[in-house]
Structure 1
Amino acid sequence: MSDDGPRDRGEGALAAHDGTIPELFEASADRNADRAAQLYKGVGGRSLTGTAVPRPLRGEYEALTYAEMRAVVRRLAAGFRDLGVEPGDRVAIYADTRMEWALTDFALLAAGAVVTTVYTGASTEQVRHLLADPGATGVVVGGAEQLERVRAVEDDLPVAFAVAMDDVDADARTLADVYERGADAYDEDTYRSWIAERDPSDLASLVYTSGTTGEPKGVRLTHRNVRANADQMYRRLGPGPERGPDVPALSADTTTVSVLPLAHVFERLVGHFLMFGAGATVGYAASPATFADDLAAIRPNAGAAVPRLYERLFEGMRERAGESPLGERVFSWAVDVAREWARADDPGPWLRARRAVADRLVYGDVREALGGELAFMISGGGSLPTALCETYVGMGVPILEGYGLTEASPVVSVNPPDDVRPGTLGPPVPGADVRIDSSVADAEDFDADGEVGELLVRGPNVADGYWNRPEATAETFADEAPAPAAAVESDGGATGRSAVGDEGPWLRTGDVVERTGDGYLVFHDRLTDLLVLSTGKNVAPRPVEDALATSDRIDQSMLVGDGRSRVGALIVPNVAAVRRWADREGLDLPDDRAALCRDERVREWIGEAVDDVNAGLDRPAKVRESALVAGPWTAENGLLTPSLKKRRAEIWERHADAIERIYGE
């Protein structure tokens, strides 16, 4: 293990971060050769199935062992080399999350390439930028739609080859072609020499930020950055002698579900590099839309998702319960019990009895619907409403909320499985040095007990800058940080300390974060998203938006009020909940979503939910006026990023008329 707090993590432990990603994969394949590495379905015309890997039965999951996965990776690496890929070449992967994404990633890295990522929701112009900016000489696409967009822009770019994972047309080179080419050219000694030539300081990947504002920037991540963060996460989540036998832990026995985009660093580190390094089994959901069904089929022990997916899963549970009046009442009661349980330091006999009843009536069915084997899930990529986290924890499905940025590979902090605290981001991961710059935020504006300010991070997982963006690099990465009020350096426990080296830049996160007295971090908001009222008060919108999201009447919300005297809110109603309420009340409502938002009865009903949230807010943060808008806000209509964060400027522009109504203009 690394020198800043070694621990015995057993046979399946990740090696220290002084190696490369291909070495991590090879070592895991040696340890876990006969274990299942990947679970995949036979979806569409996958070119590798039936040639390099077995063809699954219709609708069933097929397993690929680590030995089988490594054989495919090695031959793909040889095939890419035979195609002309040289060390340091940038090669893009432009595909949905799937088994082939992982195989291609490890193969390109073994061949010495720098993997750069393109998210599948990208427009043609965004594809052009995401291939042109890194100077990609090759691209591996998923299917026909992605290939068509690449063909539309490739004449203007230095792209020498395009490879499709699926059989798309007779003129397209497929991943199976690359595999067969590599099978003919493969030589083990040559393959091992490619890996030996790589250094931990070499660039491994350019991961492009979601681009909530401006063009996406390519973050330079080295092999050391990625290996360090995988090691940090394993030390937080892996087994250890200090944890009891009932505490869930990540190990080679873990099966995980992968659903988030691998083009984004959260899933690629947590659901990919970490899991394969630990020897876990990774099952691929067919899509976010089938996530619930795939959970039942894969029966995972762990997984990672963004808050929006957890909200959708919960809404699905609530809708099923709402099919009968009694079911809805029982479910609501069980949710209240779950939250009370999660908040209790020492549950008394009455709460234990009520939870036992709720477990028989509701929680057991919920856990079974999620596969029946979940030990924990990880949440990142956005702020998870505290009440929602409490609900899952109380139901026996702990969600470990964490925090990170692409520039930190990405994980900075995460709740430990043995001390989950809803509403917090957990303590920093082992080896991360964090500081709070309190000069940029007024603590009086936040409901906080600890130190509040911009979070700065340093550690072996922190990148050194952006690709071809020296000015942006200088703005975000600093050689020095403000003197700490009390530095907190984590050794893997909740509040431990360790000696952290002073090498590497400080990452200015741009996030207002609180550090509690025992070292846990609490997210408040982005500095750029704070609403500065005309009264001089600062309001953090996300805690209020999170509170609104816990109401079954509200699907999405965004606070407004910058430069105004009071806070307003744009609210997308939960149309399914509105329809159920109307049926119960015998109301005839319009079919059109926009007309529904104008209906005064609907406005009053949703206003009651806003009033409930307001009751728990300080005066400056209370929502004084709100406007219902049709929505929904999605990545497809440009109002969310590909990682499902709000594009606030675009939402503001789209609903400018509604904002004018809020402020009577």
Structure 2
Amino acid sequence: MASITRIFDFPYHQQDEFNSIPDALASKQNGTWIKVSTQEYIAKANHISRALLQLEIKKNDKIAIISSTNRPEWHIMDIGILQTGAQTVPIYPTISEQDYEYILNHCEAKYCFVSDIELFNKINAIKSKLPHLKDIYSFNSIDNCKNWNELLKLGESNSNQDEVEARKSSINTEDLATIIYTSGTTGNPKGVMLSHQNIVSNVLGSAPRIPFEAGKSRALSFLPICHIFERMVLYLYQFYGVSIYFGESIEKIGENIKEVQPTVITAVPRLIEKVYDKIYAKGADLTGIKRKLFFWAINLGERYEPYGANGFWYEFQLKIARKLIFSKWQEGLGGKLEVMVSGSAALQPRLSRIFAAAGIPVMEGYGLTETSPVIAVNDMRNFGFRVGTVGKVIDNVEVKIAEDGEILCKGPNVMMGYYKNETLTNEVITDGYFHTGDIGNIDKDGFLKITDRKKEMFKTSGGKYIAPQLIENTMKQSRFIEQIMVIGEGQKMPAAFIQPNFDFIIEWAKKNRIELDTNHENLIKNEKVIARIQKEIDTINGKFGHWEQIKRFELTPDIWSIESGHLTPTLKLKRKNILEKYQTLFNKIYQ
């Protein structure tokens, strides 16, 4: 096997190891799954490289890709760009026009590739403010917009393939490969510079943790490729010869899972919570013995410990639960799902136990864009799985805990720095260690546990530290609570903004014959709803120290979303934005 040192080596490795996989990349078009073989993937990437050289793309030029869906074109463009020594700049499709203008000017992008007319219109509207941008291309067919097929046609002749090969040979593993602009909650986005080595080392370091049957597994991809988590995993799939099917949209994931029957998916905790909520809702609607069996299985799952630690009698019951109840979960998720890989935020330990009990373990990992991204990951097989942790640190990566509890990371996965911002780079990297901003600890067996974000922890006026993420994650176990943000920095007590689970509350009201105005503005004022959520808060508060307990809360009528500015593209809370949106509620709580 030839050594892999640069990102564009992955498809060639796939071809060498597994011949040409017929469905290396696949997407659904007009109701049909269109498959791209490894051979076609490589051929088209070379077409793109040859065309870009004819457009006089030079080493270290920047080319942006903005796509509202995952698709084979993204990867073909990515490899085609990287082979020329230029850099890929992936951009989220949901950011503001102002952020597009900032990013495209900051990286001095020469070309921009968009997926559809909506994104084309956004970029075209600011094109006059982008002096470095030569042109916009689209993957979809759009009037008055160049199409990426024009580049494929331009690169059909292999007359300049020697020039492509020369460019490839000139690219070192330490060279810059991509700039990823992080979705900052304050100020302008930061451009994280990742080299080929950063990402390749992370793929190879993570590879032994993932239980793939090389050349025989199938993945469904729906998290944004512009995020380093999904992008790195997609390179990992290519390394293992995994067939990659791109989901149509988040809304169609249920349908796509049944069609594709994947053996692996990646997800963020919020999506796993939603999957569980749907399963739970169906179980709650059962009657008689079926309902009793369902909740017996849930109760069993909540007590799950790996490696048979609960003993023979528990394992015997679990075998029955898997046959009678959990097998139905498997069927609902396509019937062949073996593992879910979770990243971006902390997963509720309860869900980790339940899905592992169901035979669909969630491999929870941890990392940041600046660490390419993986630092640690749980693994049911070789390296150990421990509920409530993010597993053991991967190969070639070193982690130490600073005196204040901050997690520091060192290794070939640590970014080159922030683009055009040496000052900020020097603030976060000292002696080769990247300061993650997360607080955590490593137990005696080497398992890493994250307790909170350093910047998100706060002190009450009484001098007590509050770790909001831990409280929020526990509170979200209530089916009445969709989203929650703990507040109270410098105040006498912690409180919270809560977005209720409106759909569940409406169902709850029907079952309990409670008259309820379903308009969100009126629903959150309903005394019975408020009292029921108070009961949930009171119950969960018992798990925390007196100083950590939520003393007051206010319900919000909005659905917290990316579009409305409550959440980042990876579904984390935009705390500053939320605080600004609900300043009136904040004043109501504390004044």
**TM-score normalised by L of structure 1:** 0.85
Counterpart in the other structure of 1:32: 18
SS in 1 for 2:13: helix
Q: What's the offset of the Cα at 1:322?
A: 3.5
Q: Which amino acid aligns with 1:606?
A: I
- Is contact 2:24-2:241 (8 Å) kept? no
Counterpart in the other structure of 1:244: none
Pair 1:328–1:628, CA change in 2 (3 A) = farther
Q: Distance in 2 between matches of 1:303 and 1:84?
A: 39
2:6 pairs with 1:20: yes
- Is contact 2:509-2:515 (8 Å) kept? yes
Counterpart in the other structure of 1:236: 209
2:407 pairs with 1:455: yes
Counterpart in the other structure of 1:477: 429
Q: Which amino acid aligns with 1:233?
A: S
Counterpart in the other structure of 2:173: 200
Q: Distance in 2 between matches of 1:301 and 1:592?
A: 41
1:603 aligned residue (530, 536, 540): 530
Q: Distance in 2 between matches of 1:113 and 1:302?
A: 32
- Is contact 1:38-1:282 (8 Å) kept? yes
Q: What's the offset of the Cα at 1:658?
A: 2.1
Counterpart in the other structure of 1:211: 184
SS in 2 for 1:105: helix
Q: Which amino acid aligns with 2:517?
A: P
Counterpart in the other structure of 1:59: 31
- Is contact 2:480-2:505 (8 Å) kept? yes
Q: What's the offset of the Cα at 1:583?
A: 1.1
- Is contact 2:306-2:385 (8 Å) kept? no
Pair 1:464–1:300, CA change in 2 (3 A) = same
Counterpart in the other structure of 1:84: 56
1:520 aligned residue (433, 436, 447): 447
Q: Which amino acid aligns with 2:298?
A: V
2:508 pairs with 1:581: yes
Structure 1 unpaired stretches of 5+: 1-10, 44-57, 238-247, 441-452, 480-504
2:260 pairs with 1:298: yes
- Is contact 2:27-2:245 (8 Å) kept? no
Q: What's the offset of the Cα at 1:349?
A: 4.4
2:549 aligned residue (583, 602, 622): 622
Q: What's the offset of the Cα at 1:608?
A: 1.9
Q: Distance in 2 between matches of 1:163 and 1:77?
A: 15
Counterpart in the other structure of 1:436: 401
Q: Distance in 2 between matches of 1:16 and 1:40?
A: 27
- Is contact 1:38-1:99 (8 Å) kept? no
Q: Which amino acid aligns with 2:207?
A: Y
Counterpart in the other structure of 1:166: 140
2:577 pairs with 1:659: no
2:65 pairs with 1:93: yes
Q: What's the offset of the Cα at 1:335?
A: 1.7
Q: Which is further off, 190-199 or 554-563?
A: 190-199
2:47 aligned residue (43, 53, 75): 75
1:389 aligned residue (341, 352, 355): 352
SS in 2 for 1:132: helix
Counterpart in the other structure of 2:572: 645
Q: Distance in 2 between matches of 1:226 and 1:37?
A: 24
Counterpart in the other structure of 1:190: 163
Pair 1:33–1:155, CA change in 2 (3 A) = farther
What do you get for the CA RMSD once the two structures are aligned? 1.8
Q: Distance in 2 between matches of 1:41 and 1:221?
A: 28
- Is contact 1:37-1:279 (8 Å) kept? no
Q: Distance in 2 between matches of 1:662 and 1:473?
A: 39
Identity fraction in percent: 28
Q: What's the offset of the Cα at 1:207?
A: 0.8
Q: What's the offset of the Cα at 1:307?
A: 0.8
- Is contact 1:209-1:406 (8 Å) kept? yes
SS in 1 for 2:324: helix
Q: Which is further off, 222-231 or 336-345?
A: 336-345
SS in 1 for 2:576: helix
2:521 pairs with 1:594: yes
Q: Distance in 2 between matches of 1:62 and 1:328?
A: 41
2:327 pairs with 1:364: yes
Q: What's the offset of the Cα at 1:602?
A: 0.6
Pair 1:174–1:381, CA change in 2 (3 A) = same
Alignment deviations for residues 23-64 of structure 1 (CA, whole Å, 9 cap, x no partner): 233222222232234343343xxxxxxxxxxxxxx4232322
Q: What's the offset of the Cα at 1:138?
A: 0.7
Q: What's the offset of the Cα at 1:260?
A: 0.8
Counterpart in the other structure of 2:388: 423
Q: What's the offset of the Cα at 1:183?
A: 0.6
Q: Distance in 2 between matches of 1:343 and 1:610?
A: 30
Q: Distance in 2 between matches of 1:342 and 1:590?
A: 43
- Is contact 2:389-2:450 (8 Å) kept? yes
Q: What's the offset of the Cα at 1:178?
A: 0.8
Pair 1:360–1:75, CA change in 2 (3 A) = same
Q: Which amino acid aligns with 2:562?
A: A
Q: What's the offset of the Cα at 1:16?
A: 5.2
Q: Distance in 1 between matches of 2:331 and 2:355?
A: 13
Q: Distance in 1 between matches of 2:264 and 2:360?
A: 10
1:535 aligned residue (456, 462, 467): 462
Q: What's the offset of the Cα at 1:103?
A: 1.2
Counterpart in the other structure of 1:113: 86
- Is contact 1:249-1:417 (8 Å) kept? no
- Is contact 1:255-1:301 (8 Å) kept? yes
SS in 1 for 2:303: helix
Q: What's the offset of the Cα at 1:333?
A: 3.2
Pair 1:71–1:308, CA change in 2 (3 A) = same
Q: What's the offset of the Cα at 1:172?
A: 1.3
**TM-score normalised by L of structure 2:** 0.95
Pair 1:86–1:533, CA change in 2 (3 A) = same
Counterpart in the other structure of 1:380: 343
